[in-house]
Structure 1
Amino acid sequence: MSQQHHLIVRKVAVLGAGVMGAQIAAHLVNAKVPVVLFDLPAKEGPKNGIVTRAIESLKKLSPAPFANKADAQFIEAANYEDDLARLAECDLVIEAIAERMDWKHDLYKKVAPHLAKHAIFASNTSGLSISELAEGFDAELKARFCGVHFFNPPRYMHLVELIPTAATQPEILDQLEGFLTTTLGKGVVRAKDTPNFIANRVGIFSILAVFAEAQKYGIPFDVVDDLTGSKLGRAKSATFRTADVVGLDTMAHVIKTMQDNLKDDPFYPTYATPPVLQALVSKGALGQKTGAGFYKKEGKVIKVLDPQRGEYVESGKKADELVLRILKKAPAERFKLLRESSHPQAQFLWAVFRDVFHYIGVYLAQIADNARDVDFAIRWGFGWNTGPFEDWQAAGWKQIAEWVKEDVDAGKALSNAALPSWVFDGPVADAGGVHTPAGSFAPAKNAFVPRSTLPVYRRQVFPASLAGENAADPRSAGNTIEESDAVRVWVDEAVADDVVIVSFKSKMNTIGPDIIDGLTRAIDLAEKSYRAVVVWQPTSLQLGAPGGPFSAGADLAAAMPAFMMGGAKGIEPFIKKFQDGMMRVKYAQVPVVAAASGIALGGGCELLLHSAKRVAALESFVGLVEVGVGLVPGGGGLKEAVLRAADAARAAGSTNYLQFVTNSFTNAAMAKVSSSALDAREMGYLKPSDTIVYNVHELLSVAVREARALADAGYRPPLKPAGIPVAGRSGISTIKASLVNMRDGNFISAHDFLIASRIAEVVCGGDVEAGSLVDEEWLLTLERRAFIELLGTPKTQERIMGMLQTGKPVRN
């Protein structure tokens, strides 16, 4: 290992408590990084008023900037008048004030003398020139200055663009990339210092192209959104709804940056602010934050702007079936049919794609080092499943290039700029695209360049991959030990040859009897020849939309035949098998570590609870949600709640067992789901000793290392508790008394009351005296009985059928 200087970040200062600055501060605190948040001194009242109000309003924002609201206390408030001396203790300073060059320069003059000699200074600008921002710095500070562009909302958007100037020291960029990737969980793309960098330059252009072509082909906004959202593998909010969410003023500002700085650009006419956008902004209709933009909510009804009439009309017009059928075809055929169809919606879609292909072909050399950076920037910054170069390559590089050229020559494109020669001749034409196993195309080198070799990327066993790279597919990589239709049991030599990985193959990784068999089999194998087991799901990592589901719970559909044959009692063997499987996980002679991201609900949550340790991605949504289908948790989840309550009571020297089980009862009875892994820890689904990982691409390697560490430390399974003290019948009646009030006040239905009562009976240990000692088998039997009894009720059956048919809970 070469000596690489680590960037130790003891504390970060964020300058500017506006929307972005405050949310960046919140995400730093999510990642356990202490933050000082600065703004102007308030004119009246306490001097830090601007910042304290900003922190308060973060708690109300949705989606929530904090992974755990209580962490707001860790942001320290400061102002530029009294607190500049505190910058000296910060290793990283991020400026995030309004996008005005003159304001930023004024602030830099104030703060520069106070920065620590080693501190990295970065501007979170969405498009201003980093070199111009650095003007006036001494050489020493210039070397430590760069752009770091977070996307909104910073907690959830994977992309961060890192922008050096000619003077930026390469080492600080490497250090910052490591910090952003592991500590904050981001996907970092290095951008050149050109207006709006990569993601906004291409992303906003693609939106402007949609404006232009929608107008040309006369397609209403709601139809455009139906065509350009998930049906194209893009963000659900598509085009105009996204603009409303981002804010039309923000959008207009980013467009204006292009107008001001790209005057000699052959696409310059396209950067004109669309008149409809201009009109909305000038009358203060800025989208979601003002209640109206392209869309407007009137009561429950969502209306859409009709630009011809200048008023809002009923929305909900959909794309034409014919066009949707074309979109389902393979890429080469899809583009051919869109281009040849006379349907205006098909012509519109071809035009939009052509415009983007044209644009990235013309500008790749100017805006990015290589094509990989463009595709990741758009995927991570704008939520596309595939990047524009990937789409072009998948549809047949040469054919698309010829069609784009034909349209440009015929004057149909948004500009008459010719595609550069590398598109038609040389390495890209020979390889049939810009992404190859050797790397992605870099115009300046006229060659394919490999991925970054920074040490931080060794932690990613399966980094986000691009079509054409032929990267290892996590569903088949490594060495398969055994595989069935339900699970794959495998080892990845790249991480550890002595840890067995189990991956489920069911839809949403639901757990049926065959998955329990596969999991048990993996534990048998590991006890014989390996040192540990890790349960990890590769679902959507290869799409680069990080963090698929860990498990949506027990597979209800798999249990249906048994139910049809033998009624509610017919399900008992299924439940018993599930419980036995969980107990096998808990008492395995090797550690079983669960690596969770995304949803871990019901049975998925129970699998976490029975594991030796949990490693969870920050964005993990954990909960026992069986109430939604009219059932109680039946896989040992409530039993584990009783055990934890008994431990907590013993630690507190208390015999009030009800007090310690109430929280678990409420979580299950209300089907509460954690809003993050930190929240899951607060709720008790993760333990303080469990590991939380911020970059989902690092989840597997961290989990495997944690599993080995347990094995190295001489892991032994827990001893079976002989006597677990429970709250008993007095606990049950206390809980039921409050449930009666909720039922009689119409807060819950009679059926909700029945289910909650059954949960209360299990978590209080059944009809026994308070303080009685029971064992795990007793509690599991209570769970099974409650589950089967509820399954026999018509109302629960209604809930299950509703969920299987519509995927939504039925209220009855």
Structure 2
Amino acid sequence: MKRSINKVAVLGSGIMGSRIACHFANIGVEVLLLDIAPKELSPEEQAKGLTLEKPAVKNRIVNTALQTAIKSNPSPVYSKKVVNKIKTGNFDDDMSKIAGYDWVIEVVVENLDIKKKVFEQVEQYRKAGTLITSNTSGIPIHLMAEGRSDDFKAHFCGTHFFNPPRYLKLLEIIPTPYTQPEIVDFLMHYGDKFLGKTTVLCKDTPAFIANRVGVYSIMALLHLVEKLDLTVEEVDKFTGPALGRPKSATFRTSDVVGLDTMIKVAKGLYDNCPNDKAHELFKLPAYVQKMEENKWLGDKTKQGFYKKTKSADGKTEILALDLKTLEYKPQQKVKSATLEMTKPVENLRERMKIFAKGKDKAGELFRHSSFGLFEYVSDRIPEISDELYRIDDAMRAGFGWELGPFELWDAVGVKEAIEGMEQYGNKAATWVQEMLEAGNTAFYKVENGTKKYYDIPSKSYKAVPGTDEFIILDNLRENKTLWKNSGVSIIDLGDGILNVEFHTKMNTIGGDVISGINKAIDMAEKDYRGLVIGNDGANFSAGANVGMIFMMAVEQEWDELNMAIRMFQNTSMRIRYSSIPVVVAPHNLTLGGGCEFSLHADHVQLSAETYMGLVEFGVGVIPGGGGTKEFALRASDEYRDDQIVQNALKDRFLTIGMAKVSTSGYEAYELGYLQKDKFSISMNRNRLLADAKAKAIELADAGYTKPVQRNDIKVLGKQGLGIVYAGANSMYSGHYISEHDKKISEKLGYVMCGGDLSAPTEVTEQYLLDLEREAFLSLAGERKSLERIQSIITKGKPLRN
């Protein structure tokens, strides 16, 4: 049966329900969000003389929850416009409407009796064949299906989203013995392709996969803190980005999520897993019990492992909890020889080897926690999963680990880790020893560009399912790299398409990246059909290498800087005017030069989570790689005889002048960084490069021809300049901008208006590029611009001087 999802009903509008509803609206699905009707009037409703039967009262709970979600930060929606796809209602009046919906998701309170009552009501109205799932993190899924009809059971399973649903990529699918296999297959595919999730098939065991392993890992660490005499600051320093974990590390994450949430799952695991070898670890350490009694639960109670206060001089100060005295104290700087040794090592797997050999507290914590984790996950097979890759997928997508437990084990070395584990009192499961004895030295290997995992029942390696639809550059780099320098690699994606990948720090753009892109275009024009500019880094690009610009400006090497900017501009123009289609595939941070490359692409295939912007104003200059020219060109294309043309110019001017950065791929279109019919969005980041390659092939197959440079760009000259200068002067007079901001604004306006031409005139792209470069160079020579650049380089913060 062909199944499509056009309308989804979400039952329960709490933190999870409202945000799940928002994410379905993000992907264009019509959503009905329902909750209970209030049992009593609020004081405001009483004052207005309202009754419990009034629709405004009956829908108060659901409407308040939805508005709270929409206003939350980070936002659960890609754009404010998507909220229009959500209708609200209450269980009493509107449950019958679910008959017209394709998928009903229950997200009510974690209480089996309440859930069963909701399902009774659902079954009265649900149409046969409609999907019905529960979002639960602790209640066994099969218990919820008891007493339901055969059709309900056949179409019912667990779908465990992680909070916040927009940002955390894990979706656990938990079937019951009654769930039809085709329903499971559909949800696995739909979650991946349309919701942008890493879908992981789970068994109906306590806490499923991610929380079972993740909460074990946290609880083990909470006990280790006492054993190894570690501070809150030390643990968060040792278990954060250096280890390939989120910046919030361990204790800060606990504060954000809520200590009560973690305690609840830990207690559930203690009660429901009596035979777990790590059973006693799920008991709370004494200091956590005391924090629970004190209601120090994290951000929601204003204090947890950290507490934000004001110092005597009124400055905000974040204190850390002393776990011995349970008093808050100023944070202490953490020093570690092991961490210092890892700093210059970009390759995460190589960093793990350094941690494993560390002689200080960081190394000791790593060995204790990792060896315990290795024992735990190897023992959980086949209890929670038959395949080891599912555990890694769940931990990467649900907890933000760059390496899952088995990938981490591979990085340390399976044999080497087992030897270390024995010294620390840990023992790997028998199947791991058997794997090694059979001559298999790792849990994963790459063969012919395909990642394979060790399959325990067959004692052989099998391809990780579903990854054949992804392009993972790590798997291709060894055999498909055609050319490389210090900043880029050019990789053959097959089917006549090349990929140019950045691998500088933060994927910043300097001379090596510029030369690499030009080399890739040369190669593609000669022997291939198209080019993709994309990478697997944490960010697409943080923009131009400002350190290089700063050094040239300080040394007053104006000819060299002029040449560097010209090369940047020429590369942007070459991306647009090459004889082969160029598809840029941005994701996450896509700032400055990364944005400018996207502006000039034949097509932009971007991740839904793309934060794109021209942010040069913040470092005291204007976009100099073709961005200012391109916004002038796009403003020109928006001029209409029946409209005030200055409005289009003003909108484009303010986007650059306010350094607006999109909060999603969709908003990048609303801000004018993307053009209609010249961009597509990949919901699942894992599919981004494959989608970009497919687009390059599509453009080539359609008979791609080289575009012609524009010579019909209408600029307003003095007519536009007067408005720009008056606006900048007004903002400066009102103390909204500094004198230097005013100067940058006037330079920006000068370029976008085509200079001080006496009348509106049509000019060429090159004319605007020359103006853009001159303005950039003159601003780069200003002391205040150099101060701004220096602030970014040394402090990582913009300076408004």
TM-score, length-normalised on structure 2? 0.90
Query: Does 2:51 align with 1:53?
Result: no
How many angstroms does 1:655 deviate by?
Answer: 5.3
Per the alignment, do residues 699 and 325 of structure 1 end up closer, same or farther by CA in structure 2, a change over 3 Å counting?
A: closer
| CA displacement at 1:391 relative to structure 2 | 2.5
Q: 2:375·2:429 contact (CA, 8 Å) conserved in 1?
A: no
Residues 397 and 429 in structure 1, CA contact (< 8 A), matched pair in contact too: no
Partner of 1:309: 325
The one of 577, 586, 605 aligned to 1:615 = 605
1:682 is aligned to 2:693:
no
TM-aligned CA deviation for residue 510 of structure 1: 3.0
- Separation (CA, whole Å) in 2 of partners of 1:432 and 1:152: 36
Q: Deviations over 1:490-530 (max 9, x none)?
A: 4322xxx2333333344333333454344334334434443
Structure 1 residues 268 and 533, CA, compared in 2 at 3 Å: closer, same or farther? Answer: closer
Give secondary structure in 1 for the equivalent of 2:611: strand
* 1:606 counterpart = 2:596: yes
| Cα distance change on mapping 1:40 and 1:714 into 2, 3 Å | same
Q: Contact between 2:481 and 2:489, CA under 8 Å: does it hold in 1?
A: no
Kindly provide the CA deviation profile for residues 17-42 of structure 1, in whole angstroms up to 9, marking residues without a partner as x.
Answer: 11111111111111222211111123
Task: Count the aligned residue pairs.
Answer: 772
Question: Which of 654, 658, 662 is 1:670 aligned to?
Answer: 658
* Equivalence map 1:208-357=2 (5 Å): 208-299=219-310, 300-321=316-337, 325=341, 334=354, 337=357, 346-357=363-374
What residue number does 2:444 align with? 435
Shift of 1:428: 6.8
Q: Does 1:808 align with 2:780?
A: no
Pair 1:477–1:87, CA change in 2 (3 A): farther
Q: Distance in 2 between matches of 1:586 and 1:395?
A: 45
Q: Pick the aligned partner of 2:6 from 6, 10, 15.
A: 10
Select between 209-218 and 762-771 the one with higher mean Cα deviation: 762-771
2:413 counterpart (396, 419, 423): 396
Q: CA separation of 1:79/1:769 partners in 2, compared to 1, >3 Å: closer, same or farther?
A: farther
Q: CA deviation at 1:225?
A: 1.6
Distance in 1, Cα, partners of 2:259 & 2:92: 33
1:344 CA displacement: 5.8
State whether structure 2 residue 557 is matched by structure 1 residue 567. yes
Alignment of 1:531 with 2:529, yes or no, is: yes
Cα distance in 1, alignment partners of residues 587 and 437 from structure 2: 37
Structure 2: which amino acid aligns with 1:574? A
Q: Which residue of 1 aligns with 2:714?
A: 725
Q: What percentage of aligned pairs have identical amino acids?
A: 38
Deviations 1:130-169 (CA, angstroms, capped at 9, x unpaired):
1112111222221211111111111111211111112211
Q: Aligned to 1:184, what secondary structure does the other structure show? A: coil
Query: Which deviations, in whole Å up to 9, do the C-alpha atoms of 1:645-666 show, x marking residues without a partner?
Result: 222223xx43522100212111
- Which of 733, 754, 757 pairs up with 1:744? 733
SS in 2 for 1:579: helix
Question: Of the candidates 342, 354, 368, which is equivalent to residue 385 of structure 2?
Answer: 368
Distance 1:426 1:602 in 2: 49
Report the CA distance between 1:593 and its aligned residue.
Answer: 1.7
Structure 1 217/429 Cα, relative in aligned 2: closer, same or farther at 3 Å? farther
The one-character-per-residue Cα deviations of 1:580-611 (angstroms, maximum 9, x if unpaired) are 22222222333222111122211221111111
- Out of 573, 577, 586, the residue aligned to residue 567 of structure 2 is 577
* Deviations, residues 685-744 of structure 1 (Å, cap 9, x unaligned): 012321011111211221122222223333334444433222322322223223223223
User: Could you give the per-residue CA deviations for residues 80-111 of structure 1, whole angstroms, max 9, x where no partner exists?
Assistant: 11112221222222211221111111111111
**Which moves more between the two structures, 604-613 or 572-581?**
572-581
1:452 Cα deviation from its structure 2 partner? 5.3
What is the CA-CA distance between 1:116 and the residue it aligns to? Answer: 2.5
Cα offset, 1:478, TM superposition: 3.3
Q: How does 1:353-752 map to 2 (within 5 A)?
A: 353-408=370-425, 419-426=428-435, 430-436=439-445, 439-443=452-456, 445=457, 447-448=459-460, 450-451=462-463, 453=465, 457-462=467-472, 473-478=475-480, 480=482, 482-493=483-494, 497-538=495-536, 540=537, 548-559=538-549, 563=553, 567-650=557-640, 653-654=641-642, 656-689=644-677, 690-752=679-741
Is structure 2 residue 35 aligned with structure 1 residue 30? no
| Residue 110 (structure 1) aligns with | 121
Alpha-carbon distance in 2 for matches of 1:352, 1:80: 47
CA distance in structure 1 between the partners assigned to 2:23 and 2:352 by the alignment: 41
What RMSD over aligned residues (CA atoms) do the two structures have, in Å?
A: 2.7
- Measure the CA separation in 1 of the matches of 2:697 and 2:353: 49
Corresponding residue SS for 2:132: strand
1:74 aligns with 2:74: no
Does the 8 A contact of 1:11 with 1:90 survive in 2? yes
- Shift in CA distance, 686/316, structure 1 to aligned 2, threshold 3 Å: farther
Q: Which amino acid aligns with 1:492?
A: L
C-alpha displacement of 1:309 = 2.6
CA separation of 1:268 and 1:559: change in aligned 2, threshold 3 A: closer
In structure 2, the partner of 1:543 is none
Q: C-alpha displacement at 1:553, in angstroms?
A: 2.3
Aligned counterparts of 1:609 and 1:647: Cα–Cα separation in 2? 15
**CA distance in 2: counterparts of 1:723 and 1:441, whole angstroms:** 60
Residue 754 of structure 1, CA deviation: 0.7
* Residues 548-604 of structure 1: per-residue CA shift (max 9 Å, x gap): 322222334445675566533542222222222222222233322211112221122
What are the ranges of 5 or more consecutive residues in structure 1 without an aligned counterpart?
Answer: 464-471, 541-547
CA distance in 1, matches of 2:497, 2:353: 44
Match of 1:765, SS? coil
| Cα shift at 1:749 | 1.6
- CA displacement at 1:429 relative to structure 2: 6.2
Describe the shift of the 1:681–1:562 C-alpha distance in structure 2 as closer, same or farther (beyond 3 A).
Answer: same
Q: For 2:593 and 2:319, how far apart are their aligned partners in 1? A: 40
Q: Answer with 418-427 or 66-75: which moved more.
A: 418-427
Moved more, 422-431 or 578-587: 422-431
Is the alpha carbon distance of 1:391 and 1:476 closer, same or farther for their aligned partners in structure 2, counting shifts above 3 Å?
closer
Going from structure 1 to structure 2, the CA distance change for 1:479 and 1:785 (only over 3 Å counts) comes to closer
For the 8 Å contact 2:435–2:441, the answer to whether it is kept is: no
Relative to structure 1, is the Cα distance of residues 528 and 310 closer, same or farther in structure 2, using a 3 angstrom cutoff? closer
Query: Are the equivalent residues in 2 in contact too, given 1:428–1:434 (CA < 8 A)?
Result: no
CA contact (8 A) 1:597 1:620 kept: yes
- Asked if the contact 1:285/1:293 (under 8 Å) is kept, the reply is yes
Q: 2 CA distance for matches of 1:440 and 1:521?
A: 36
Structure 2: distance between partners of 1:291 and 1:705: 49
Aligned partners of 1:331 and 1:395 also within 8 Å:
no
Structure 1 window deviating more from structure 2 (169-178 vs 763-772): it is 763-772
Secondary structure of the corresponding residue to residue 302 of structure 1: strand
The normalised TM-score by structure 1 is 0.89
- Alpha-carbon distance in 1 for matches of 2:357, 2:486: 36
Q: Distance in 1 between matches of 2:506 and 2:379?
A: 41
Shift of 1:395: 2.6
What is the SS of the residue equivalent to 2:159? strand
Unmatched 5+ stretches in structure 2: 42-55, 311-315
Give the direction of change, closer, same or farther, for the CA distance of 1:290–1:439 in structure 2 (3 Å limit).
same
Structure-2 change in CA distance of 1:132 and 1:427 (3 Å): farther
User: What letter corresponds to residue 735 of structure 2 in structure 1?
Assistant: N
